[in-house]
Amino acid sequence: MIYKTFQIKTLFYLLPAVFIFLTFNVIPGLTSLVLSFFDFTGFETNLFRKFVGIDNFIKIYEDKYFWIALKNTFLFVFGAVFIQTGIALILSIFIFFGNFKFSILVRSIIFFPCVLAPVSVGLVWKKILEQDGVLNSILGLDYSYLSSVSLVMWLIIMVNTWQWIGYNLVIYYAGLQSMNIELLEASDIDGANWSQKIFSIIIPLLWPTTILNMILNLIGGFRAFDIVYVLTRGGPAHYSEVLASYLYYYSFSAGGPNKMGVGAAVAFVIFACILTIAVARIIVSKRIRREN
């Protein structure tokens, strides 16, 4: 600290950023929670005119598509947290210890989709998965993948994994590069084979990186919107809706009900999910610290 006390001139450093942050992040965030108790459409000027209590929440509670969206969101998050992280873990170990000549090129190729817009990625895959797309002609099938109720969510998860796996991969790679190698050398002397090393030494040592990747994918999973929007628009018949796209459908979609209050209630649910996870994370990490 340069100064022992608070100086007025500190405000000049702080205020622009804090002003923008409060006006366009904190205040809208809190307003969103309040708005979920009001009924209003996109054309109203006074949003707080019609207080409806928990009607908006009752409305989504009774809507079967809300439960589908909630289930799909959790499925999507599950896919991102476990499947995507798992594949990235194995892949990073294979690339790191595989002694590849072009290891940097390999990583760059797998990483590349991360820098693309999810919209572009979704549209690339959309044509591949369509009924007259290339996947059917490779497999010799005639199947409409994106209109299959049971399959569609898994395909969205697959496309999302395709895009983001490289992100987890490079984070794991950084973890591997800073790994303590003494244990590995010791296990070499003890004659451990490669699978024993991977499962008994490397994966346990990478545990902090795994946690980091899981948290990143968890946060990213709740954000998913773009990929659902371009691939299916929540279809067929709302069966691939996630919470974010359900919010969009209720509040902004041209053919939707234009009920902003219900959209705010959905935002409340998303907010509550993230908050629960954040609190759980703090409690768990405190408990771990106490045990140590």
Site for another protein in 137-166 (CB under 8 A): 137-138, 162, 165-166
Residue 99 binds another protein, judged by CB under 8 A: yes
Q: How far is the CB of 259 from another protein (least distance, A)?
A: 11
Q: DSSP string covering 67-135, please?
A: HHHHHHHHHHHHIIIIIIHHHHHHHHHHHHHTT-TTHHHHHHHHHGGGGS-HHHHHHHHHHHHSTTSHH
Token code pair at residue 176: 């591997």
Give the x-and-dash track for 230-269 against another protein (CB under 8 A): x--x---------xx--xx--xx-------x--xx--x--
Burial 101-135 (b: 16+ CB within 10 A, else e): eeeeebbeebbebeeeebeebbebbbeebeeebeb
SS3 readout for 12-71: HHHHHHHHHHHHHHHHHHHHHHHHCCECCCCCCCCCCCCECCCHHHHHHHHCHHHHHHHH
Question: Which of 188, 137, 127, 183 lies closest to 159 in space, CA to CA?
Answer: 127
Q: How far is the CB of 292 from another protein (least distance, A)?
A: 21
Q: How far is the CB of 87 from another protein (least distance, A)?
A: 8
Cα–Cα dist 75/201, whole Å: 30
Residue 4 binds another protein, judged by CB under 8 A: yes
Looking at beta carbons only, is 24 or 61 nearer to another protein? 24
List the one residue from 6, 140, 290, 292 that touches another protein (CB under 8 A).
6
Give the x-and-dash track for 194-223 against another protein (CB under 8 A): x--x--------------x--xx--x--xx
Cα–Cα dist 196/198, whole Å: 6
Cα–Cα dist 187/181, whole Å: 10
Window 61 to 80, contacts with another protein (CB under 8 A):
none
Window 101 to 140, contacts with another protein (CB under 8 A):
103, 106-120, 122-128, 134, 137-138
Q: How far is the CB of 55 from another protein (least distance, A)?
A: 16
List the one residue from 61, 188, 200, 237 that touches another protein (CB under 8 A).
188
**Which residue(s) pair with 38 in the sheet?**
51
Choose the binding region for another protein from 52-60, 78-86, 149-157, 171-179 (rule: CB under 8 A): 171-179
Q: How far is the CB of 153 from another protein (least distance, A)?
A: 18
Looking at beta carbons only, is 68 or 110 nearer to another protein? 110
List the one residue from 100, 204, 237, 285 that touches another protein (CB under 8 A).
100
The two counts, helices (H) then strands (E), for the chain are 16, 0
